[in-house]
Homo-oligomer: A and B are copies of this chain.
Amino acid sequence: MAVQTVQNTSASDAGTGTVDLGPAAALSCRECGERFPLGPIFACESCFGPLEVAYDLPTDGPEALKERIAQGPNNIWRYAPLLPVPADVAAHPNINPGFTKLVKADNLARELGITGELHVKDDSGNPTHSFKDRVVAIAVEAARAFGFTTLSCSSTGNLAGAVGAAAARAGFRSCVFIPHDLEQGKVVMAAVYGGELVGIEGNYDDVNRFCSELIGDPLGEGWGFVNVNLRPYYGEGSKTLAYEICEQLGWRLPDQIVIPIASGSQLTKIDKGLRELIKLGLVEDKPYKIFGAQAEGCSPVSTAFKAGHDVVRPQKPDTIAKSLAIGNPADGPYVLDIARRTGGAVEDVDDEQVVDAIKLLARTEGIFAETAGGVTVGVTKKLIEAGLIDPSLTTVVLNTGDGLKTLDAVAPTTGPTATIRPSLDAFREAGLA
């Protein structure tokens, strides 16, 4: 979702008190660097650039910090000293995502011709089975700090469920906006947590526009929109993917990491997280390459990358990878910067390759990925074939969601090998023994 420039004036008031968000010191503009006190604002007052959290990072030295982290809970709150959350965050009611499996994928590595280490970071293990639980969990803490009572978002799927679940557990009212014609399965997942769910007669752009209006209106007073006025905090949740990957590798940077691109925020925050770990001395300072993955039917960033452009030209999405289908990705230019700076690349695969990659991952590692996972695995294969990913190094591929959420992608081509009468003769004839 695009960062928006309308500020929630009513909610800004909530940010003027003393706010304890742990090591978070201020918000700073990613464009002009101007700093602002912590509050529910998301765009620079001077240049309209996106705001991000600036930290006073811990100074207790790498070994002591590793020890603190190891003593923490088996979720993202083990990294509380590096996140915009209070020190006692683990005691708050929250959905507690994270510390998902980093699966050493030897079978997949063999099929892809990888001779080094290949790992899949499998975020389908989160509470509502996508990485969105990470970002929402942080937004919940910011909402609490700013005194919001309602959590909201616009969504077409994963985010709605993550907000509904987190709000229910954390004791917030929730009100989530979706296009009125979503598939029933997604509607059920968004509604089952008992919050308000409002269908908007229009498409996702109409829903977004409506939310922007609501944020600037007294009607929206006390409302935290996780991906709008809480976005600077929300986005930081993706850093935890970087922390977990490195800790699970034994406090080691991967050489290469393949990340899906929707708005591009996740990729930029993983890079931010890796740089923090280097700065803190938690990992050795060595080069790493970041690769971005898109679906061909919504590939504005890979198109710009391959054309050598700095700007990203919007596209009208048409792909089965709906969770990545953002035609005008807000962080696209930052993604281009990072891919180029680290020596990575941005690539895309078509829908058929996405389906093939979902099946490849399932068949080799027993991981059933959402379409976004098919995109990263498919792009990894393509980048190896193109010589851009070095198969002799350590590579991490992200799976950010669960195949149960996008069954339609594989259903047409996934079914029984055979259907037979219940007899040994019939089984023998089917040739499966």
Contacts and interface: CB of A to CB of B under 8 A. Distances in A.
A367 B250 CA distance: 32
B403 A198 contact: no
A127 interface: yes
Nearest to A202: B422
Interface in A155-192: 161, 164-171, 175, 178, 180, 184-185, 187-189, 191-192
Contacts of A191: 414-417
A423 interface: yes
Interface string A406-418: 0100110011111
Interface in A179-221: 180, 184-185, 187-189, 191-194, 196-202, 206-207, 209-210, 213-214, 217, 219-220
Interface residues of A, number: 81
A168 B364 contact: yes
A197 B366 contact: no
A362 interface: yes
A363 interface: yes
A199 B416 contact: yes
A45 to B, nearest CB: 25
Contacts of A165: 362, 366-368
Interface string A393-433: 00000000011110100110011111111111001101011
Contacts of A419: 180, 198-201
Contacts of A363: 168, 193-194
A353 interface: no
A276 interface: no
Contacts of A192: 358-359, 362, 368, 403, 410, 414
Contact of A366 (B193, B198, B201): B193
A188 B414 contact: yes
A96 interface: yes
Contacts of A22: none
Max chain B Cβ within 10 angstroms of own Cβ: one of A74, A213, A365: A365
Interface string A355-375: 000110011111110000000
A418 B198 contact: yes
A366 B167 CA distance: 8
Contact of A93 (B107, B188, B424): B107
A136 to B, nearest CB: 10
A283 B350 CA distance: 55
A250 to B, nearest CB: 13
A172 to B, nearest CB: 11
B217 A424 contact: yes
A362 B196 CA distance: 13
A128 interface: yes
B416 A197 contact: yes
14 contacts: A74-B74, A74-B99, A127-B366, A128-B368, A169-B365, A170-B366, A178-B416, A196-B417, A200-B420, A209-B422, A219-B427, A220-B433, A404-B404, A404-B405
Complex A-B, nearest 4 residue pairs according to Cβ-Cβ distance, in ascending order: A194-B363, A165-B366, A169-B366, A199-B419
Interface of A: 74, 93, 95-96, 99, 101, 106-107, 125, 127-129, 161, 164-171, 175, 178, 180, 184-185, 187-189, 191-194, 196-202, 206-207, 209-210, 213-214, 217, 219-220, 358-359, 362-368, 402-405, 407, 410-411, 414-424, 427-428, 430, 432-433
